[in-house]
Amino acid sequence: MKKLTLLATAVALAGLAACGKKEEAPAAAAPAAAPVSEEVVRLGHVGPTSGAIAHLGKDNELGARLAIDELNAQGLVIGGKKIKFELLAEDDAADPKQGTAAAQKLVDSGVKGVIGHLNSGTTIPASKIYSDAGIPQISPSATNPRYTRQGFKTTFRVVADDVHLGGTLGRYAVNTLKGKSIAVIDDRTAYGQGVADEFEKGVKEAGGNVVAREFTHDKATDFTAILTTIKGKNPDIVFYGGMDAVAGPMLRQMKSLGINAKFMGGDGICTGELPKLAAGSMADEQVYCAEAGGVEGEQKAGLDAFKEKFKQKFGVDVQIYAPYVYDATMVMVEAMKKADSTDPAKYLPELAKIEYKGVTGTITFDEKGDIKNGALTLYTYKGGQREQLAVIR
């Protein structure tokens, strides 16, 4: 019993000693870095990815996708948030009604900016919808002058307009190709009629003679009546204001009717696809066209590198305007970076005064939203391949 009492006393004393000992606090953990929140920024693209010129609309869309992929790989932080860009691509089928529906859909989806549309006929009516919503729009290819002359602060384009393009082609037809009697056809779209009107003005300014002015529509396949009328005028040059999907069959029918005139057109026909659409009916140096845009000297190496990168990624050649879509997307995001905001109201002023060196050259805009010092590139075709003649500013 005495041993048990002594043991109990020892345990009690040990317990009291433990109670009196101050408990050591664990080491404080290092404060965790504040996580950077992610913001998904939606950008819209609109072009005709169905219908006769779907190959051109898809070309434009792929230019936007390449830019978006590269921007996301950069891990950009804007306004303290890591930005992930998402492309919302809509098909307008080159139809004005579908174009305005696509525009409204993008506005309702909360896009922060829009690249497009491809055609002037869809770009112009859609531009009011974007303007009313305060959303910047950069067209990579719409050339009708009216697009940027509506007084909207949200409209921009990265190529020269039809005044420059059509007029230059008209003067080239007379002064360089020595056209004596020139026939003009257009497809009655905003683009086709606009570029044909400016071409006709350029011909007359240069002292040339327009012997016929005819029109078709952008989905036509039979041109026998108008070409027969034109054949009676014996023109040495035929100009077509429209797209390659119509120009190809027109060239075939010209050949079958024995019309050996040179054939001219704007950027709508100036594609890598035209020889296929013409199905062997193009003679070397018969077709002359102009692309609204162009680079030369050291800049040409950068554009060639872009085209190679594009082909490696998508397995197809650039048709025409993919580089301009790519640059338009990059310019829009550059304005966001300068404003440190993806809010259209905040980055729009930066876009209006931007100066950006892209793969298509230096991009800066005038007070209307037109590119300053816009270039155009003249081409002909030899052996079924487009061959550059000159870059004109």
Chain position carrying tokens 């409204």: 104
Dihedral sign (CA 173, 178, 180, 183): negative
pTM strictly above 0.75: yes
- What are the residues whose beta carbons fall under 8 Å from the beta carbon of 344, sequence distance 6 or more? 112, 113, 134, 135, 136, 154
d(CA 273, CA 314): 17
Chain position carrying tokens 């350029």: 202
One DSSP character per residue, 148-217 reads G-S--SSEEESS--HHHHHHHHHHHHHHTS--SSEEEEE-SSHHHHHHHHHHHHHHHHTT--EEEEEE--
C-alpha closest to that of 43 among 100, 102, 111, 95: 111
Token code pair at residue 96 = 């004005």
**Segment holding 114, helix H or strand E:** strand 113-116
Token code pair at residue 334 = 């550059």
Token code pair at residue 56 = 């051109």
Do the strands 287-291 and 38-47 form a parallel or antiparallel pair, or are they unpaired?
unpaired
Q: Which pLDDT does position 185 carry in this prediction?
A: 98
Chain position carrying tokens 């040059």: 237
Complete domains list, the chain, with CATH: 38-160+296-372 (3.40.50.2300), 163-291 (3.40.50.2300)
d(CA 74, CA 94): 33
Chain position carrying tokens 């490696």: 312
Q: Which pLDDT does position 13 carry in this prediction?
A: 40
d(CA 385, CA 276): 10
Tell me the helices (H) and strands (E) count for the chain, helix number first: 12, 15
User: pLDDT tens track of the chain, all 393 residues?
Assistant: 444 343 343 434 444 344 444 444 455 555 555 557 899 999 999 999 999 899 999 999 999 999 999 999 999 999 999 999 999 999 999 999 999 999 999 999 999 999 999 999 999 999 999 999 999 999 999 999 999 999 999 999 999 888 889 999 999 999 999 999 999 999 999 999 999 999 999 999 999 999 999 999 999 999 999 999 999 999 999 999 999 999 999 999 999 999 999 999 999 999 989 999 999 999 999 999 998 778 877 788 899 999 999 999 999 999 989 999 999 999 999 999 999 999 999 999 999 999 999 999 999 999 999 999 888 899 999 999 999 998 887
C-alpha closest to that of 325 among 87, 132, 154: 87
Give me the sheet containing 137-139, strands edge to edge. Answer: 77-78, 81-91, 38-47, 113-116, 137-139, 155-157
